Amino acid sequence: MKNELIKIITIFLIVGGVVFWGLNYIYFSNNGPKSKAAGETINLTFIDATVTTSASSPDFTVKLHAKPSQNAYFRGYDTKINFDKTKLVFKSIDYNFGAASNGLGDTTNNLTAINAAEVIHVVGESQVAAGSLLTLATGGDLVTVTFTALDHTTPASVTIGDTVFYSINTTDMSLFSGWAFDKGTLSVNGVSTPTATMTPEPTVTQTPGSCSLTACSACASHPGYSYTYSPACTSSCSIGCDNLWPLWVGEDATGYVNTNNDDYVRTAACVTACDTGGTPIPTATNTPTGNSTLNLAFKIQGIMSKPVTTTMNVKVKLLNETTKVETPFQTVQLTSNDFGIWTGSASFNTVPNTRYTLYAKGEKQVQKKICDVSPNETAGGTYRCSTGNLTFVSGNNTFNFSGILLLSGDLPEQDGTINAYDTSLIRNNLGKTDADTISKCDLNLDGRCDSQDYSLLISTLSVKNDEQ
Partner 1 sequence: MENFIKNHKAFFYLLLIFFAIFSGTGIFITLNTSSKQPTVVNKELSKTVTESVVVSSDPATEGALSLTTIKDKVLSTDREFVVDIIADSNGKNITGYDLALSYDPIAFDFVKATSSRTDFKVYSYNRGNYLSFLVTKLPQSEKTSVFAQTKIISVVFKPNKKGAYNFSLKSEINKDKTDLVTDKTEILNPILSGLEVKVL
| Cβ–Cβ under 8 Å, residues 384 and 407 | no
Please report how close the Cβ of residue 302 comes to partner 1 at its closest, in angstroms: 16
Of 32 and 231, CB closest to partner 1: 32
Query: By CB under 8 A, which span of 214-222, 244-252, 290-298, 453-461 interacts with partner 1?
Result: 453-461
DSSP letters of 110-157?
GHHHHHHHTEEEEEEE-SSTT-EEE-TTT-EEEEEEEEEES-TTS-EE
Residue 140's identity, in one-letter code, is G
What is the helix (H) or strand (E) element at residue 73, kind and residue range? strand 72-82
Contacting partner 1 within 85-114 (CB under 8 A) = 103-104
Residue 87's identity, in one-letter code, is K
Q: Which of 14, 16, 182, 284 binds partner 1 (CB under 8 A)?
A: 16
| Cβ–Cβ under 8 Å, residues 332 and 361 | no
Of 63 and 427, CB closest to partner 1: 427
Of 23 and 304, CB closest to partner 1: 23
Asked if residue 246 has a cis previous peptide bond (ω within 30° of 0), the answer is yes
Contacting partner 1 within 139-168 (CB under 8 A) = 164, 166
Please report how close the Cβ of residue 305 comes to partner 1 at its closest, in angstroms: 25
Of 262 and 467, CB closest to partner 1: 467
Please report how close the Cβ of residue 28 comes to partner 1 at its closest, in angstroms: 8
| Cβ–Cβ under 8 Å, residues 72 and 34 | no
Binding footprint of partner 1, residue count (CB under 8 A)? 47
DSSP letters of 339-395?
TSEEEEEEEE---TT--EEEEEEETTB--EEE-SSS---SSTT----SS--B---SE
Of 12 and 339, CB closest to partner 1: 12
Of 286 and 417, CB closest to partner 1: 417
Of 128 and 458, CB closest to partner 1: 458
Please report how close the Cβ of residue 20 comes to partner 1 at its closest, in angstroms: 9
Residue 438 DSSP one-character state = H
Of 50 and 465, CB closest to partner 1: 465
Q: Using CA atoms, how far apart are residues 293 and 291, in angstroms rounded to an integer?
A: 7
Residue 451, interface with partner 1 (CB under 8 A)?
yes
Three-state DSSP at 6 gives helix
Residue 171, interface with partner 1 (CB under 8 A)?
no
Residue 21, interface with partner 1 (CB under 8 A)?
no
Residue 304, interface with partner 1 (CB under 8 A)?
no
Burial class (CB in 10 A: 0-12, 13-18, 19+), 238: buried
Contacting partner 1 within 25-84 (CB under 8 A) = 25-27, 29-31, 78
In this structure, how many other beta carbons lie within 10 angstroms of the beta carbon of residue 32?
12
Residue among 342, 347, 371, 360 nearest 294 (CA): 347
Three-state DSSP at 271 gives helix
Of 15 and 128, CB closest to partner 1: 15
Q: Which of 85, 222, 324, 464 binds partner 1 (CB under 8 A)?
A: 464
In this structure, how many other beta carbons lie within 10 angstroms of the beta carbon of residue 392?
24
Please report how close the Cβ of residue 53 comes to partner 1 at its closest, in angstroms: 28
Residue 359, interface with partner 1 (CB under 8 A)?
no
Q: Which of 174, 192, 389, 391 binds partner 1 (CB under 8 A)?
A: 174
Residue among 128, 237, 218 nearest 173 (CA): 128
Q: Which of 117, 133, 244, 351 binds partner 1 (CB under 8 A)?
A: 117
397-436 footprint of partner 1 as x/- string (CB under 8 A): ------------------xxxxxxx-xxx-xxxx------
| Cβ–Cβ under 8 Å, residues 271 and 240 | yes
In 151-257, at which residue ranges do the beta strands (DSSP E only) sit?
Answer: 156-160, 164-168, 175-176, 180-183, 186-188
Q: Which of 133, 175, 232, 244 binds partner 1 (CB under 8 A)?
A: 175
Interface residues toward partner 1, by CB under 8 A = 5, 8-9, 12, 15-16, 19, 23, 25-27, 29-31, 78, 103-104, 117, 121, 164, 166, 174-178, 415-421, 423-425, 427-430, 451, 454, 458, 461, 464-466
